[in-house]
Amino acid sequence: MTSYLIKGARIPSTGSDHRPGEEHADVLVQEGRVALDGDWDESDHEVVDASGLILLPGLVDLHTHLREPGREDAETVLTGTQAAAMGGFTAVHAMANTDPVADTAGVVEQVWRLGREAGYCDVYPVGAVTVGLAGRQLAELGAMADSAARVRVFSDDGHCVDDAVLMRRALEYVKAFDGVVAQHAQEPRLTENAQMNEGELSGRLGLGGWPAVAEEAVIARDCLLAAHVGSRLHVCHVSTAGSVELIRQAKASGWNVTAEVTPHHLLLTDDLAASYDPIYKVNPPLRTAADTEALRAGLADGTIDVVATDHAPHPHEDKDCEWAAAAFGMLGLETALSVVQETMVDPGLLSWSEVAERMSYAPARIGRVADHGRPIEDGAPANIVLYDPSGRRVVEASESVSLSRNTPYAGMELPGRVVATFLHGRPTVLDGKLC
Amino acid sequence: MKKHLLSAADLTRDDAELVLRTAEEMRSLADRPIKKLPALRGRTVVNLFFEDSTRTRISFEAAAKRLSADVINFSAKGSSLSKGESLKDTALTLEAMGCDAVVIRHGASGAPHRLANSGWVRASVVNAGDGTHEHPTQALLDAFTLCRHLGKSHLGPGNGGDLDGRRIAIVGDVLHSRVARSNALLLHTLGAEVTLVAPPTLLPVGIDSWPVETSYDLDGVLPKADAVMMLRVQRERMDGGFFPTAREYSRRYGLDGRRMATLQDHTIVMHPGPMVRGMEITADVADSDRSVIVEQVSNGVAVRMAVLYLLLGGSEPAVGTTETALVEPVEPVETPLAEEAHA
């Protein structure tokens, strides 16, 4: 196995400051592990000049749609994990809304195995909470937890577990294997025919409204349920200021609640819907500027624990149509770090070490992922990403390695780029190109 | 005017008054023995109707034919549209056949925007009603009808100040009404004071930012109104729980003989059709002298002629001063607008 000597990268200090005072370091990637402080001979290793680059722990996505099995026209485990690697991710949680649904040990093991064979990311399948995502009967959560895929995150994402009793049972049941229920918070009756954020604009555009209260009511209920039964709750793609406040209160009460925000909810707002271009159609919908501001503040102060992409590939025809007929969702893996730099780092809301926390350590903790989300120190697994925060680039949809092209950032200028990604010591991306 | 007519918001006051003046010229045609102009000879207008609509489609068809355009009707039933062909493929087909204007009715809000802005077709797009969004030609024909009845100018509609300060009440299911949205925008542009009257459940969120007044109290609004426009209430709204019963709705928001008696003498009653008699309007009101509902329909043809002419033809007077202009061959009028339309 080739070893790599990464020279002169800036390693953001961890919370405990493992190397106080020293910002720049040489790091050796060898035999799947990283080593620091060595006296290495450059001729023995492949040298990667990392001056001006930031070395981060490999990013961990808690919320990815890989579409396989079932919608291989939109994405496969291979192409989705390639996109993830290009975005600096070394681990992704593959959502359960495939066809067949990932509600049995057989399906989650298949997805897990496809990830291993592809070799671009460690794929951690998310198990469905209910059979067929139908919201009526618990899926065999234990079987999925005990499978080779070792599922710890369970979600009906795309659908809300809106039945209060079922949600309570799920929260209780997963305690047996230290699992977490990741809720897609959407009160179904309040969002019938919903197309975009409910507000002045939805009324003007004549598009069905998706009111903030439909998200917040479910989050409030679930926080109370999680507190009542003493379970872990994770809230997917928080999108409103009110949700941030509810989660802030839940955390202040000491309840075991975590939350994620997507890059697109940090950057984009609902006024984009005025174009009627379904590239901006997503669930939960893009919200107001006041909401994005609250989300950024919540991510900065730790109320929101993680950035998760909700990478949702769709074939061209599902977006090249009228708004109501289009699918919900947008790509996110390849642009996530740039969007976080744009919205959080450059404005001074997050340091790079906090980015490591929100995009690597915290999601790995929540997903109970062992080999990822570890500080870059001697002997740690070499799951790392080199990022160049200088310069800006215009996003080109055609340059995506995803099978799909539904990026809302096409034509938009964003900062930074991923230079290299290493998975267990092997480069998946070098010089900004897929290996 | 812009190349497309997608929303009443696309029209400046000057644009709207130009349409109304042109429509008045077009309307005068109805009094002539030959009700046809050569203005759009050689042009093709496609009526692309994804939703059932009798009166709007016929109105556009009559308008285009009276301007000598070739008209192709393309409706959902019995066509490729009912076989799942996408809006895009339909549009590409029309583009390949060569059409100059597409009049589109679609159940999805914003479908005309997509057609106009996606690069699928080069034709001018006229929104003939999209979902719960807008229906701008309906608003134009309503404004035209209002001007004819309430106008201060002896020169006819569109000659300035006709609707300034006039109070128009629009009553009913505003939430789902594309007619209400377009009328609120256009009548405001033309200087009228619009009041939307509906139960709170049938007013959209964020209506405070619209350039209109709102009221839940029909009886309080009627005595001050110069015109009352009743909106259709679809019976299926009842299943959505927007109001308890049809009877209660009629009691609180229906226009009946008793309420009509509280109107000023000059106040007219309008309805975009189709009416649900006994629900939002009683038969005696719909058939009364105040009702201009049938006139709205005939004005619809004149207004749509004006819209098609202005989008496709140009800025010169459509109606010649002599009868000979109607029979002599007329070259298509190439104007900067028309060139832009084919750029």
User: What per-residue confidence (pLDDT) applies to B83?
Assistant: 60
pLDDT band with cut points at 50, 70 and 90 for residue B317: low
Residues whose CB is less than 8 angstroms from the CB of residue A64 and which lie 6 or more positions away in sequence, other chains included: A80, A84, A92, A93, A94, A95, A309, A310, A311, A333
User: What per-residue confidence (pLDDT) applies to B302?
Assistant: 96
SS3 A419: strand
CB proximity A199 to B under 8 Å: yes
Measured between alpha carbons, how far is A207 from B181 in angstroms, rounded to an integer? 12
User: What per-residue confidence (pLDDT) applies to B163?
Assistant: 94
With vertex at residue A403, the alpha carbon angle to CA A397 and CA A409, rounded to the nearest 5 degrees, is 25
pTM, entire model? 0.92
CB proximity A206 to B under 8 Å: yes
Q: Which amino acid is at A245?
A: E
User: What per-residue confidence (pLDDT) applies to B314?
Assistant: 61
User: What per-residue confidence (pLDDT) applies to B84?
Assistant: 63
Q: Which amino acid is at A1?
A: M
Measured between alpha carbons, how far is B332 from B343 in angstroms, rounded to an integer? 17
CB proximity B111 to A under 8 Å: yes
Query: In this structure, which CATH number among 3.20.20.140, 3.40.1160.10, 3.20.20.70, 3.90.950.20 belongs to the domain A58-367?
Result: 3.20.20.140
Q: Give A192's DSSP letter.
A: T
SS3 A418: strand
Q: A7 is written with which tokens?
A: 């020279």
Measured between alpha carbons, how far is B261 from B264 in angstroms, rounded to an integer? 8
Q: Which residue from B110, B178, B208 is facing A276, i.e. has the nearest CB?
A: B110
Q: Distance (Å) from the C-alpha of residue A319 to the closest C-alpha of chain B?
A: 11
Q: Per-residue DSSP letters for B16-28?
A: HHHHHHHHHHHHH
Which of A192, A200, A201, A204 to substitute to test the interface with B, most B CBs within 10 Å? A204
User: What per-residue confidence (pLDDT) applies to B225?
Assistant: 98
Check if the beta carbon of residue B305 is closer than 8 Å to that of residue B66.
yes
User: What per-residue confidence (pLDDT) applies to B315?
Assistant: 52
Query: In this structure, which CATH number among 2.30.40.10, 3.90.1150.10, 2.20.28.270, 3.30.70.2470 belongs to the domain A4-55+379-400+413-434?
Result: 2.30.40.10
Q: Which of residues 319-338 of A touch B (CB under 8 A)?
A: 320-325
Check if the beta carbon of residue B23 is closer than 8 Å to that of residue B144.
yes
Low-confidence stretches of chain A (pLDDT < 70) are 14-23
Check if the beta carbon of residue B296 is closer than 8 Å to that of residue B145.
yes
User: What per-residue confidence (pLDDT) applies to B332?
Assistant: 45
Architecture label for domain B8-134+296-342: 3-Layer(aba) Sandwich (3.40)
Q: Distance (Å) from the C-alpha of residue A201 to the closest C-alpha of chain B?
A: 8
Check if the beta carbon of residue A391 is closer than 8 Å to that of residue A69.
no
Share of chain B above pLDDT 70, in %: 88
Q: Give A358's DSSP letter.
A: I
pLDDT band with cut points at 50, 70 and 90 for residue B284: very high
Which of B201, B205, B242 to substitute to test the interface with A, most A CBs within 10 Å? B205
Residue B53 has, within 13 A of its CA and on its CB side, a CA count of 26
Measured between alpha carbons, how far is A28 from A44 in angstroms, rounded to an integer? 11
| B136-295 placed in CATH 3.40.50.1370 | yes
Measured between alpha carbons, how far is B115 from B101 in angstroms, rounded to an integer? 11
Q: Give A361's DSSP letter.
A: I
Neighbours of B204 (CB within 10 A): 23
CB contacts of B110 in chain A (<8 Å) are 205-207, 276, 322-324
Looking at per-residue confidence, does B264 or B338 come out higher? B264
A22-37 burial string, b = 16+ CB within 10 Å, else e? eeebbbbbbeeebbbe
Q: Which of residues 244-283 of A touch B (CB under 8 A)?
A: 275-277
State the Cα torsion A306-A92-A184-A296 to the nearest 10°: 20
State the Cα torsion A173-A179-A183-A189 to the nearest 10°: -20
Measured between alpha carbons, how far is B135 from B273 in angstroms, rounded to an integer? 13
Check if the beta carbon of residue B246 is closer than 8 Å to that of residue B279.
yes
pLDDT of residue B333 exceeding 60, the answer is no
User: What per-residue confidence (pLDDT) applies to B328?
Assistant: 41
Q: pLDDT digit string (tens) for B123-134?
A: 999 999 999 999
Q: Known catalytic residues of A?
A: 310
Structural domain spans, chain B:
8-134+296-342, 136-295
Q: Which residue from B87, B175, B210 is facing A321, i.e. has the nearest CB?
A: B87
Measured between alpha carbons, how far is B77 from B84 in angstroms, rounded to an integer? 11
Check if the beta carbon of residue B281 is closer than 8 Å to that of residue B255.
yes
Q: Which residue from A201, A209, A276 is facing B113, i.e. has the nearest CB?
A: A276
Q: pLDDT digit string (tens) for B192-219?
A: 999 999 999 999 999 999 999 999 999 9
CB proximity B206 to A under 8 Å: yes
Q: Which residue from B131, B205, B208 is facing A206, i.e. has the nearest CB?
A: B131
Structural domain spans, chain A:
4-55+379-400+413-434, 58-367
